[in-house]
Amino acid sequence: MKYVPLHVHSSFSPGWGIHHPETLCAAAGALGMDRMALTDRNGLYGIPHFLHQAMEAGIRPIIGAEAVNDGYRAVLLAKDGSGYANLCRLLSDLHCRENFDLSRSLSEFREGLVVITDDGSLLTHLKRQDPGDLFVEMSPGHSMHNALALSRRLKLPPVATSRAVLLGEGDYHLHRVLRAIDLNTKLDRLSLTDTAAESDRLLSSRSLAEHFPHCPEAVENSIKVAELCRTDWDFSRTIFPGYRDMTDDEAYSDLESRARKGVLWRYGRIDERVKARLEKELDLIREKGFAHYFLVVEELAKRSPRTCGRGSAAASMVAYCLGITHVDPLKYNLFFERFLNPGRVDPPDIDIDFPWDERDEILDFAFARYGTKRAAMVANQVSFRARAALREVAKVYGLASEEIKDITRRMSGGWKPDKAAAAVATHPRFAGEKLNGDWRMILDTARRLDGQMRHLSLHCGGLVIVPDEIRRYVPVEVSAKGMPVIQWEKDQTEAAGLVKIDILGNRSLAVIRDALAAVRKNTGRIIDYAQWQPLEDERTRILIRSGETMGCFYIESPATRQLLRRMWGDDPDPITLECDLFEHLVMASSIIRPAANAFILEFVARMRGKPWRSLHPFLDDVLDETYGIAIYQEQITRMVMTLAGFSAFDGDQLRKIVTRKSRGRKLEDYRTRFIKDAAKRGISKKTTSLCWNQILSFSGYSFCKPHSASYALVSCKSAYLKANYPAEFMAAVVSNQGGFYSAFAYLSEARRMGLTVLPPDINASEYHYTGRGTHIQMGLMQIDGLSKKTVDGLLKERLDKGPYRSFTAFLARVRLDPSALKFLVKAGCFDDLEGRDRRPALIWEVLSHSHSRDQSPGKGQIGFLFDEHKPDLPRPEPYDEGTVLRQESQTLGMLVSRHPLDLHRDGLDGLRYAPASEIQKWVGRHVTMIGWWVTGKPVKTKHGEPMEFVTFEDTTAIFDTTFFPRAYARFCRKMVRHRPYVLKGKVEEEFGVATLNVKWVGFLDGNK
């Protein structure tokens, strides 16, 4: 007897299901099923994945969900498009409406849905409305006799399901652990209703039928229900946002007119080249119906004067002319087909960066314009990473948080659960440690929590706008911030044809904005952002070439700074001075990617004059601009198009597969096809093999040229400000936070640039850091424990009534909490007014002030019987140096008055070491160096051995070190931040850049 599984949970049932749709489809296929429904709990979280996987496995997919709310439960299957839309609406209501009632909602949204449940009251209610498409669910292990009696009493057909959650033997335990995590309880306290039954498995037709000898029609009805439901779902149609209710033609003609105006604005005139490109793009946009999308994005981009349109969209002249992007695609030869091509079936993707603190306003505008009916944010589907999986499972097993942390703190944030067990066995951070039985069991369970969705969170900026009603296409929930969020993350959103607009927050745009404002305030100079040509400035060019780009957007990482120094250095080779700086900056920021290490040095050598030729003459056009090395994503596409005759679409598909981590068999298929087709064109095997190696160097993440060029433009503007207005720029960098380095590292860089960092001062500091001339004034934002509201209050008072003349005057003018006052005193804000020696006396004043305030009439405080009315305050001794430094560190989060290494001068006695500023003198020799940890980047060698690049600084300069696998294995457990390192190793040099190859690590603080 045949049967169709109509009630199946995947890992997209948060806290319930354990298997990915791919595994379930494969299992169903292996059991001989030709159809299967996916009915995750309260959502369609994995439907696009399911449709894809079902197609791959030869299963006809049925879309459904199990709605569970307030004790009611029903499996809902979509019969057709209207059923799917109603299912989305019902699930949206379930998540968004406070007084959601399943029976009432089902009455409202029942059209196109099959309802299967064993809930008597729900069935009675729905039958009264319409007995059609209503079934009684009978499942082994779930009171089948009651369900059968209900079916007979209500005269509704029974249908067999197995409520499948489990597949293999260990699944039930895993499911219980998942439930315990979800319910924040321990295994013993899970009740029967908290978990699935042990019998809730994906059963074969025969196994299921064995449970229904008394009611075979229930099994037969599963076929009937499946036949009611649509299985030929097609989500490939792109759904564009509708711009201001215009028709497609109206939108296109509006776009065309705006683009033509934009051409005149950008180029001054329309020449043949510009005209041809514009026509080509507009034709494609019209053909694909993308006009609405461009207009909507343009409207959003216009909300801020400083944006950075990036991604492949920067290759579009239309986007450039509309002001969405800012890099001239003609001048920089940007490959338009990377953005749009006739074969592309997925929606285009335009990402726009806004200053991070303006992003919410842009989203507010978008929601005000389109309403929550048409717009919603894209989700992130949060699943377990290794640390979270281990932590949560260990909690279920009752381990104490300290013990859990001792293991998880040694794990990298990016590790996946299935890799954690292997990593614990092999990673040097766990070397010599034998985990006990409890931990082995925990690791084994946590390993299987890979891919289980836990909950939704907001994507950092993805916005979806549809022309009619978003809840027709996808269920919508409400995020913790109160924003509507769809149930799919970006990949499934794209797979379902919904067009995503990325509105992203960018701190560097805010840095530029703030620095420009400071320049205007301090010097009166106004820099026109739109007309600004930063690379015309010699200082900027020198700064970029020297790699002194800490704080400059996108080019500040140690790897990029090293690369820039290798390319040019302090004393550039004349041959390199002839290179186009912008083009080479774009190349430099693109070649820094995980799998391209092998090509970086070759690139530098070729740039500095090493003779080279293309892998094949066919590739001259493709790779000439990048010295015969593939640097940009679109070069992969063009390489396979040129060598093997791939279409633009196929080339783009290959690019997508290479850059994604899970690529598996498809990549192999493409490789075979590439080699075969190239051979047909007479390309040698050796050449194709070398080409393929270059293609593989794009795995992990990589960049397209339009994207890098857009970012390089922002980099140049940052560099200009750093070179010409260092105080204003560095103050803006620290104020906006969130850069590659800590505030401490940026302030050290500022000092190296000759700037003086002034401690916080009650009369000189603003909320943010401020820079002027050669000084950076620390902002009150740096003081831990002070709220913005508190600071705003005291700044307003200062602005209104002038500077504070004394601490007593401050107390009289500003009403602050005693703890906030203590923070201000300990941070040294009154040192200028009162002197540092009086800090403890000021604390007494704070106490006296708050006491007299508490004793004031109406406070109802009772003093001592013989209390003095207001005691004389003692005159305490000044704090000693150590206390002052401790207070500085506690209130500001770092030492400002001196470098932390200065505190360890005693440890330097008798130690001969090389200052970092002189590292170049020691090339090829073994040295000892002193360092304070700045940043680190753990990586793996091509053999999979862990190693790390760490940047340190001493009081003279910043320097880079390499911990190769042997040194890393020996010292990785000691490598923590905020310690004074003693490093011994050999100074090595490549292209004029010296780094320390570390062999031994010690510490100045004497601890091992």
Please, which residue, 482 or 864, has the CB nearer to another protein?
864
- Identify any residues that bridge with 38 across adjacent strands, giving them in sequence order: 63
Q: Per rule CB under 8 A, is residue 867 in the interface with another protein? A: yes
**Is residue 835 left, alpha or beta, with left meaning phi > 0 and alpha meaning psi from -120 to 50?**
left
272 binds another protein, rule: CB under 8 A:
no
Closest CA relative to residue 710, chosen from 326, 405, 392: 326
485 binds another protein per the rule CB under 8 A: no
Sign of the four-CA dihedral 27, 31, 34, 37: negative
Between 119 and 845, CB nearer to another protein? 845
Taking the least distance from each CB to another protein, the nearer of 738 and 871 is: 871
Q: Is 399 in the site for another protein (CB under 8 A)?
A: yes
Helix 818-826 / helix 839-855 crossing angle, nearest 10 deg: 170
Query: Rounded to whole angstroms, how far apart are CA atoms 729 and 862?
Result: 54
Q: In angstroms, what is the minimal distance from the CB of 396 to another protein?
A: 7
Tell me the one-letter amino acid at 677: D
Smallest distance from the beta carbon of 510 to another protein, in angstroms?
36
Report if residue 406 touches another protein, rule: CB under 8 A: yes
CB 63 within 8 A of CB 12: no
One residue of 129, 756, 806, 883 binding another protein per CB under 8 A: 883
Q: Position 588: which residue type? A: A
Out of 72, 235, 365, 397, which residue is the one contacting another protein (CB under 8 A)?
397
Whose Cβ is closer to another protein: residue 334's or residue 783's? 783
* Nearer to another protein among residue 169 and residue 402 (C-beta): 402
Q: CA triplet 28, 656, 594: central angle to 5 degrees?
A: 110
Answer yes or no whether residue 403 interacts with another protein by CB under 8 A. yes
597 CB burial (10 A radius; 0-12, 13-18, 19+): middle
Question: Which 808-827 residues touch another protein, going by CB under 8 A?
Answer: 822, 826
**Does residue 976 belong to the site contacting another protein (CB under 8 A)?**
no
- Part of the chain binding another protein (CB under 8 A), chosen from 351-359, 400-408, 725-733, 952-960: 400-408
Q: Which of 398, 611, 860, 924 binds another protein (CB under 8 A)?
A: 398
Q: Closer CB to another protein, residue 333 or residue 883? A: 883
Give burial (CB, 10 Å; 0-12/13-18/19+) of 272.
Answer: exposed
Stretch of 342-350, 637-645, 750-758, 876-884 lying at the interface with another protein (CB under 8 A): 876-884
Q: Is 878 in the site for another protein (CB under 8 A)?
A: yes
Distance between CA atoms of residues 166 and 23, nearest Å = 11
Could you give the angle at the alpha carbon of 454 between the alpha carbons of 401 and 74, nearest 5°? 135
Give whichever of 364 and 867 is closer to another protein, judged by the CB atom. 867
Q: Which is nearer to another protein, 81 or 871 (CB)?
A: 871
For 784, counting Cβ atoms within 10 Å of its Cβ (0-12 exposed, 13-18 middle, 19+ buried), the class is exposed
190 belongs to the binding site for another protein (CB under 8 A)? no
Beta bridge partners of 960: 951
C-beta of 272 vs 872, nearer to another protein: 872
**Shortest Å distance, C-beta 875 to another protein:** 10
CA distance 693 to 386: 31
Pick the binder of another protein from 871, 897, 911, 976 (CB under 8 A): 871
Q: Phi, psi at residue 762, to the nearest 5°?
A: -65, -25
245: contact with another protein by CB under 8 A: no
Closer residue to another protein (CB): 333 or 819: 819
Q: Phi and psi dihedrals of 134, rounded to 5?
A: -125, 125
198 interacts with another protein by CB under 8 A: no
CB of 965 to another protein, least distance (A): 25
Q: How many residues bind another protein (CB under 8 A)?
A: 39
Residue 157 or 893 with smaller CB distance to another protein: 893
Three-state secondary structure along 118-179?
CCHHHHHHHHHHCCCCEEEEECCCCCHHHHHHHHHHHCCCEEECCCECECCCCHHHHHHHHH
Cα torsion 567, 570, 576, 582 to 10°: value is 70
CB of 894 to another protein, least distance (A): 18
User: x/- contact string, 836-865, with another protein (CB under 8 A)?
Assistant: ----x--xx--xx--x-----------xx-
Closest CA to 378 of 474, 265, 452: 474
Q: Report 315-334 residues binding another protein (CB under 8 A).
A: none
Q: Do residues 366 and 503 make contact, with C-beta atoms less than 8 angstroms apart?
A: yes
Question: Cβ(114)–Cβ(77) under 8 Å?
Answer: yes
247 vs 890 by CB, closer to another protein? 890
Q: Are 458 and 26 within 8 A, CB to CB? A: no
Residue 470 phi, psi (nearest 5): -65, -30
Smallest distance, another protein to C-beta of residue 440, A: 15
Secondary structure class of 712 (helix, strand, coil):
helix
Shortest distance in whole angstroms from residue 179 CB to another protein = 13
Comparison of 397 and 913: residue with beta carbon closer to another protein: 397
State the CB neighbour count (10 A cutoff) for residue 321.
Answer: 25
Report in angstroms how near the CB of residue 385 gets to another protein at its nearest.
21
Between 877 and 909, CB nearer to another protein: 877
Taking the least distance from each CB to another protein, the nearer of 434 and 789 is: 434
- Name which position in 169, 188, 538, 800 contacts another protein (CB under 8 A): 188
Select the residue interacting with another protein from 754, 857, 860, 874 (CB under 8 A).
Answer: 874
| Residue 507 found at the interface with another protein (CB under 8 A) | no
Q: Does 877 bind another protein (CB under 8 A)?
A: yes
Residue 716, SS3 per DSSP: helix
| Of 532, 587, 581, the residue nearest 563 (C-alpha) | 587
Report the residue from 868, 906, 909, 944 that binds another protein according to the rule CB under 8 A: 868
Residues interacting with another protein, by CB under 8 A?
A: 184-189, 395-403, 406, 822, 826, 840, 843-844, 847-848, 851, 863-864, 867-868, 871-874, 876-879, 883, 886-887
